[in-house]
């Protein structure tokens, strides 16, 4: 998609911003009306964690050790009640990165490419690119195999899936259909794991630890920061970490932060997916999608898996710290907006579920969301207000459009 800049009109964005913020008397989540001149040099560092629920120390988690994210939250604004639009990667990311709800696009699966159906929609990185930014990609931003390749000035990957959006809504089961389905798929302890690649954890050391994907994702983002410092061009660096998505693999040092014997199980822990009495049958899927697939979670193994998930969060936290440290080192912190978000929540044994897929529970939809804008008056405060990740797109576009208008 190569839309000329003059055709990228802000009226749609302005409309959305009006609905989401100004109608409620709120200000933009990005600092509004900065002084002319200073705004011209603002960059964006866009950090994402895959499958990371709101499990940070600063968000009240007694378990997670997340010093770098906690510091970022305290330096900027931490949104304590932030929610995704859909508890699955591609629908959530497509929604955030196009500013459209899944109910608007009809995109609900991990194999659909929004551009195949809505060729006039401009993704967030493409919006930055069309307004003169270097758009630099490292790691998972859109869903795997569904990159918006043309949106990036550097780092775009060939798109594997070009499927148009299937506009049919997600299927629904009657209670009787669900009962039959559940009974047919009831696992037993001797079942073979259907997805051994996903359903496991591992603490690695030495060269195996150095070669982990997220370490290289951070390395690439660090290289982009150095490169941008030299070029002096405004940048939008998107850095998407793949953890704590399963398989739960992280360097051993992050596992060592947690004593498995001190990992509590959730109060509503169950060894199999269980629908609470009085709730709809579809509120908990009968089979897990990521961990404990077609098998029972013993309390002992559940504690090990939760520990591994926490280790992966601490590993992401370490990588976030490395990237931000490079901003500081290059003297770019004061003219860079940092955004950190997770694409959806996750259940770690709550009601027997070990995944995000299909979860509309609090744990499945609530996400970490932090914005550090060095110019924002609200820095240092947490916001208890409910926000959606959908709010990122209109506010970011409004910021870019205002910056671009001042340049010309
Ligand atoms: Ca995800």
Check residue 163 and report its DSSP letter: B
Q: Which runs of consecutive H residues, i.e. helices, occur in 259-298?
A: none
Query: Helix 213-231 crosses helix 299-329 at what angle (to 10 degrees)?
Result: 10
230 Cα–ligand 1 center, Å: 34
Q: Tally Cβ neighbours within 10 Å of residue 192.
A: 7
Per-residue pLDDT band at 180 (split at 50, 70, 90): confident
Task: Kindly give the distance from the C-alpha atom of residue 391 to the centroid of ligand 1, in angstroms, as a whole number.
Answer: 19
CA–centroid distance, residue 292 to ligand 1 (Å): 17
d(CA 138, ligand 1 centre) in Å: 16
8-state DSSP, 42? -
Length of the chain: 408
Q: What percent of the chain has pLDDT over 90?
A: 77
Average pLDDT over residues 231-250: 97
Instruction: Kindly tell me if the per-residue pLDDT of 370 is higher than 70.
Output: yes
> pLDDT digit string (tens) for 84-121?
999 999 999 999 999 999 999 999 999 999 999 999 99
Determine the pLDDT at residue 186.
58
Burial of 71 (0-12, 13-18, 19+ CB in 10 A): middle
Q: Is the pLDDT of residue 17 over 70?
A: no
pLDDT reading at 236 higher than 70: yes
Q: How much distance in Å is there from the Cα of 176 to the middle of ligand 1?
A: 31
CA of 323 to the centre of ligand 1 (A): 21
CA 311 to CA 228: how far, in whole Å? Answer: 32
Residues 27 and 381: beta-carbon distance below 8 Å: no
**Mean pLDDT score, 263-286:** 94
Least confident of 62-71, 167-176, 232-241, 390-399: 167-176
Distance, CA 340 to ligand 1 centroid (Å)?
14
Structural domains in the chain, CATH included, are 5-84+165-384 (3.40.720.10)
Dig out the tokens for 199 from the structure: 């359903």
Distance CA 79, CA 205 (A): 35
**Beta carbons within 8 Å of 243's beta carbon, 6+ residues apart:** 49, 50, 51, 52, 214, 249, 250, 312, 313, 315, 316
């Amino acid at each position: 998609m190569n839309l000329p800049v003059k055709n990228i009109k802000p009226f749609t964005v302005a409309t959305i911003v009006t609905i989401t913020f100004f109608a409620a008397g709120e200000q933009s989540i990005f600092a509004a009306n900065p002084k002319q001149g200073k705004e011209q040099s603002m960059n964006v560092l866009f950090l994402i964690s895959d499958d990371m629920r709101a499990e940070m120390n600063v968000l009240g988690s007694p378990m997670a050790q997340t010093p770098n994210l906690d510091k970022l939250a305290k330096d900027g604004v931490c949104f304590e009640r932030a929610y995704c639009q859909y508890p699955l990667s591609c629908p959530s990311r497509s929604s955030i990165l196009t500013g459209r709800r899944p109910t608007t696009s009809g995109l609900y699966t991990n194999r659909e490419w929004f551009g195949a159906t809505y060729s006039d929609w401009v993704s967030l990185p493409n919006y930055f690119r069309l307004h003169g930014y270097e758009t630099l990609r490292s790691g998972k931003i859109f869903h795997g195999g569904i990159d918006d390749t043309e949106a990036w000035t550097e780092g775009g990957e060939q798109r594997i899936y070009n499927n148009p959006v299937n506009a049919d809504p997600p299927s629904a089961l009657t209670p009787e259909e669900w009962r039959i389905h559940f009974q047919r798929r009831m696992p037993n302890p001797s079942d073979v794991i259907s997805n051994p690649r996903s359903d496991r954890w591992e603490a690695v050391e030495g060269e195996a630890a150095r070669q982990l994907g997220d370490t290289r994702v951070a390395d690439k983002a660090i290289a982009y920061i150095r490169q941008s410092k030299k070029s002096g061009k405004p940048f939008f660096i998107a850095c998407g970490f793949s953890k704590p998505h399963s398989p739960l693999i992280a360097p051993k040092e992050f596992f060592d932060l947690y004593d498995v014997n001190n990992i509590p199980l959730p109060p509503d822990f169950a060894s199999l997916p269980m629908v609470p009495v009085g709730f709809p049958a579809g509120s908990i899927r009968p089979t897990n999608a990521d961990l404990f697939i077609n098998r029972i979670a013993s309390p002992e193994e559940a504690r090990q898996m939760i520990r591994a998930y926490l280790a992966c969060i601490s590993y992401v936290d370490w990588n976030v710290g490395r990237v931000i440290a490079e901003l500081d080192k290059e003297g770019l912190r004061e003219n860079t907006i940092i955004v950190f978000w997770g694409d959806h929540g996750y259940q770690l044994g709550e009601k027997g579920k070990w995944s995000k897929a299909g979860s509309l529970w609090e744990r499945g939809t609530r996400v970490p969301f932090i914005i550090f804008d060095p110019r924002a008056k609200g820095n240092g405060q947490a916001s208890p207000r409910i926000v959606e990740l959908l709010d990122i797109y209109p506010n970011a576009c409004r910021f870019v459009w205002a910056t671009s208008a001042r340049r010309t």
